[in-house]
Amino acid sequence: MDLNMIFNSTKKLFLMRNISLDFFFTLLFLFSILFSVNFTKKQPSKPKPKPTKELERELEHCKADNRHLHEKIQEKREENDELISRNNKLTLLYQTCRKNRTRLEDYVKKNCTKETTTTQRPTTTKRNGGKPGKG
């Protein structure tokens, strides 16, 4: 149907009932205003809340993940503490070795003459192919 046909049929309908066109258009105008106001004030729909059981399952899942992560963190802390302990022991051993080496070098400088250090027989010789023994 054409818009003019609808308009004409509506016009004839109201004229037959002795209603003026001014009154009809006024009602139409008011109806259109109410219709537009109704849609402009409409707020967006709020998201539906999740069921309690589903939320509880998600919470339990999160707690399990959290527990697992805390266990991993604790394991890594223990490993780290063990490595720190080993490192401290090795550092102490290294420092002790350095002190002992320094003491030994000082002792050799003070108590050993050059003659005793240079006249020591080497344990390997070039004549027998670098094998220890007879020189």
Within a domain: residue 65? yes
Q: Indicate whether 92 belongs to any domain.
A: yes
| DSSP result, 31-69 | HHHHHHHHHHSPPPPPPPPPPHHHHHHHHHHHHHHHHHH
Q: pLDDT, tens digit, for every residue of 50-104?
A: 788 888 899 999 999 999 999 999 999 999 999 999 999 999 999 999 999 999 9
Whether residue 122 is contained in a domain is answered as: no
pLDDT the model gives residue 135: 44
126 pLDDT exceeds 80?
no
Note whether residue 5 is domain-resident: no
> For the chain, what is the domain count?
1
Q: Is residue 2 part of a domain?
A: no
CA 58 to centroid of chain Cα atoms: 19
- Both tokens of residue 105? 């070098």
Give CA separation, 40 vs 36, 43, 44, 86, 115, in Å: 6, 8, 11, 72, 110
pLDDT at residue 99, as a whole number: 96
**Predicted local distance difference test score (pLDDT) of residue 24:** 72
Provide the domain limits for residue 72.
11-38+53-111
pLDDT at 93 (0 to 100)? 96
* Crossing angle of helices 21-40 and 3-16, rounded to 10°: 120
Percent of the chain with pLDDT over 70: 64
20 in a structural domain = yes
- The verdict on residue 21 lying in a domain is yes
Q: Are 132 and 124 in contact (CB under 8 A)?
A: yes
